[in-house]
Amino acid sequence: MPLFSLGVLAVYRSRKQGLEELSFFKQLIIAGKSLDVDVYIFTPDHVDERNHRIYAHSFDPNQQQWTRKWIAYPDLFYDRARYQSTTHYRQVSQFKKQNPSIPFISSPLSNKWNLHQVLVRKPSLKAFLPSTLLYSRFNDLRQELLQRGLIFLKPINGTGGRGILRIQRLLNGSYSIRGRTQSRHMIREKRVNMPKLRTLIMQMQPSKRFIIQEGIDLRLGSGSVHDYRLLIQKNGSGKWEVTGCVGRIGASGSVTSNLHGGGTAIPMLKLLKIWFKNEKKVTTIADDMHRFSHQLVEALESSYGRLCELALDIAVDHSGKIWLLEVNTKPAREVFARIGDQSTYRKAVRRPIEYAKWIYQSKSGIS
């Protein structure tokens, strides 16, 4: 008999498309069975709150098929709901509001701006953060461009590279602007003067929904940008451990390296060697990334409460200095499968369940 049950909170991409991370959820359920944990997937629009039941999705590995049934609220909950729309956000928020006592294995973080405000106050972390401002008027963006030459305009709640603009001041006084739409479609480069740039930005109506982030030149010899995705998770002893780190190279013409935007995954050390061609420096930087990730998660837990896993998007500039670009509390892990590292991929899938098991056993006094 399973030790306990874990409910995975998710959302539908659309009614026709079904659950967003179906392949990952399938692997999660299979991993759960090997750990004596029943894993169920559910959405906030299929909850009977009066009777504390959910209409759960489950996968049968023997029959290789999905089934559904009503079950009592699971013992613990794992939030994998990704907000692709305000409707998704409202659904999840309403479920949590109406069920304030249910135990999640990880606390939510705030938006990019509020998160930056928390981190920039930590002396040990401030040096790793690109200069970041909250957009309130076009003159903020203009001043940053004149001072830094390269900036990124990012939605404070965006994920996966959606809605990001890269703006660079060129030697002839014009400005290069390119990026991604909210649906991840590439915005090809436009070269404009300052008045035209103002018009383009104002059409986006950024108000207080965007941050202005200092740009870091991460272009390889090919012209493609690159960065690193580091996954750090709690293990079965409740301790933080770096599961793995993978390099990412963006698609030609892309301002981001995201795999969903056409990027390519490459082993971390291989990419670092392309960037530096110095074995000793590569080893030092890899160690720095791991050390920084532990500093970061400990600082975030002190501010936000219990966390389960974080994916960090890390840049390394030409001098070897590391920079934190993004923090993701609901990371994908396919990046490891993309480089053929199935062992790390399986570990990345199992760890949330192992951590949930540790929480359950600690709470229940079970050894």
- Tokens, residue 29: 């359920």
Q: Give the residue carrying structure tokens 């990952």.
A: 24
Contact call for residues 312 and 296 (beta carbons, < 8 A): yes
C-alpha 11/C-alpha 28 separation (Å) is 16
- Check residue 208 and give its pLDDT: 61
Residue 277's nearest CA partner among 249, 246, 247, 318 is 318
- Check residue 365 and give its pLDDT: 55
Contact call for residues 56 and 70 (beta carbons, < 8 A): yes
- Check residue 247 and give its pLDDT: 97
| Exposure on the CB side of residue 113, measured as CA atoms within 13 A | 14
C-alpha 63/C-alpha 214 separation (Å) is 52
DSSP 259: G
- Check residue 185 and give its pLDDT: 77
pLDDT in tens, the chain (367 residues): 789 999 999 998 766 668 889 999 999 999 999 999 999 999 998 999 999 999 999 999 999 999 999 999 999 999 999 876 778 788 899 999 999 999 999 999 999 999 999 999 999 999 999 999 999 899 999 999 999 999 999 988 866 667 889 999 998 889 999 888 777 777 888 899 999 999 988 887 665 689 999 999 898 988 899 999 999 999 999 999 999 999 999 988 888 888 877 889 999 999 999 999 889 999 999 999 999 999 999 999 999 999 999 999 999 999 999 999 999 999 999 999 999 999 999 999 999 999 999 999 998 655 4
- Check residue 87 and give its pLDDT: 80
C-alpha 249/C-alpha 225 separation (Å) is 6
Sign of CA dihedral 274, 187, 327, 120: positive
Contact call for residues 259 and 160 (beta carbons, < 8 A): no
Q: 7 φ, ψ to 5°?
A: -95, 125
Contact call for residues 134 and 211 (beta carbons, < 8 A): yes
